[in-house]
Amino acid sequence: MKYALQSVLFVACLLFGLTVQAADDAPRTTVETTAKAMTDRLISDRELVQNQENYVEQLVDELLLPVVDHVYMAKRVLGKYWKRASMEQQKTFTIAFKEKVIRTYAGAFRAFDGQTILFEDSRLNDEGNQAIVKSQIQRVGAPPIRVDYKLYLKQKQWQVFDVIIEGVSLTKSFRDQVSLSIEQDGLAQAISKLADEYKSAAPTVKLGARAWGPYLGSNLPGFGLAADIVTTAFARAGYQVELVFAPALKIEENTSAGQLQGEIAAWQPQQASATQLYSVPYLENTLVFIKRDDDPFDYASPDMLKQQLTNKGYRLGVFNGVDYGQAFSQIAPLFHLQKLDYCSQLFREVANKSIDLALVDSWMADIELNSKEHIANHLQRVATPLASRELRVSIARSATGAEALIQAFNTGLERIKADGTYQSLLKKHNYPQ
């Protein structure tokens, strides 16, 4: 049974080895394209595969898991016990099951040596929402291995929900093992054992994050563009990222106490920091003023602003705990500054006349003004930006291996820019380019 299970996953990995054939055969295209991406990376990154621990697991997580619905598979594996489990137990089981799938696939991919795989066209059910793609792995001096992939249509995307090798279902075989464990140890103990056995081997970087849509947010896809870029770059260098959303002061306190290693999105201060190291920039923020539409305020240059605002007493809202840079330092004395913790507050406070202006990122401003008519109808963006700031990861100098973490991120960012992943993330989050 163990050999059959390994073989199932081995085949699952190799399913991507052939060139995509029929463009209109979406289920077959899904498995072939993904598998080819995986085998291409195994070849191009051969040195990393050989020398970097857990690199194959990273590839599986990055390339294969997006087309495998491991959450649905986890529900099927737990079967009748899913509804009996608490939400926390369901989450724990799903995380452990995902790691189990990653490890199994990674073990299979490590054995990849370029075998030929023959695929058949997919067969769809009558409703057209489920499909099976059959394949054979050719072997030298041995009979071929038969592998079938079951997929279903989820939100217009085909996802794998089972792999069958020589008639043995991956989902069913796992379900039998889990059911036996539950019968022997009980539900809670069985899940706890599985969680202990299948913890991610990748080291964790624990970073603070401020709610800052669309860059960061606990309710945003991928936790926002900044989080998606940083976690992907770190993953490419062998690290997993744990985000802790909190206000600026709390992040600073927790970083000083060693509970966090740094912050996921920071602007480097003008003066060298005695407490923080900064990565290379991964995004650029353009700072613009937001005003009420009946306000004559305008901006063209610091000198013009000095003439315009002399003795005016304008109230300017800014993010609390942020170094806005030299351009801001030049004009800050002209305003009464009001520091707030959340982006949405800045817009609301301008709209209700609690402050006169807000200084915000241009992308965030466009989204806010286009999505909230009750606010946007009263506000407008000043055309000329004040300045641009480069967004970086910051790591506390006191954190263990701080310099290595910065270098890991820089290396990972370079890799995702080189292979097109970075551009794909910008497109995924509709970042203006």
- Is it the case that residue 186 has pLDDT exceeding 60? yes
The pLDDT score that the predictor gives to residue 291 is: 93
Cβ atoms of 55 and 104 within 8 Å: the answer is no
339 against 115, higher pLDDT: 339
pLDDT band (50, 70, 90) for residue 18: very low
Q: What's the Cα-to-Cα distance from 96 to each of 80, 85, 196, 199, 419, rounded to whole Å?
A: 18, 15, 8, 7, 29
110 against 198, higher pLDDT: 198
Q: How is residue 409 annotated by DSSP?
A: H
Digit-coded pLDDT (tens) for 225-244: 999 999 999 988 888 899 99
- Is it the case that residue 289 has pLDDT exceeding 90? yes
Which range is least confidently modeled, 102-116, 234-248, 252-266, 294-308? 102-116
Q: Round to the nearest angstrom and report the end-to-end CA distance of the chain.
A: 52
Report whether CATH 2.40.50.140 matches the domain 2-197.
no
Topology of domain 204-282+393-428, CATH: D-Maltodextrin-Binding Protein; domain 2 (3.40.190)
The pLDDT score that the predictor gives to residue 9 is: 43
The pLDDT score that the predictor gives to residue 111 is: 62
406 against 66, higher pLDDT: 406
Which region holds residue 302: left if phi is over 0, alpha if psi is between -120 and 50, else beta?
alpha
Q: pTM to 2 decimals?
A: 0.66
Report whether CATH 3.40.190.10 matches the domain 284-388.
yes
pLDDT band (50, 70, 90) for residue 23: very low
Q: What's the Cα-to-Cα distance from 355 to each of 92, 343, 396, rounded to whole Å?
A: 46, 14, 34
- Is it the case that residue 200 has pLDDT exceeding 80? no
Digit-coded pLDDT (tens) for 301-327: 988 888 888 777 889 999 887 888 889
* Residue spans in the chain of domains classed CATH 3.10.450.710: 2-197
Cβ atoms of 287 and 360 within 8 Å: the answer is yes
Phi first, then psi, for residue 121 (nearest 5°) are -65, 150
**Tokens read off for 117:** 């795989």
How far apart are alpha carbons 18 and 14 in whole angstroms?
A: 9
* Residue spans in the chain of domains classed CATH 3.40.190.10: 204-282+393-428, 284-388
Mean pLDDT of the chain: 85
Per-residue pLDDT averaged across 18-44, rounded? 74
Cβ neighbours of residue 7 under 8 Å, at least 6 residues apart? 108, 145, 147, 165, 166
How far apart are alpha carbons 206 and 81 in whole angstroms?
A: 33
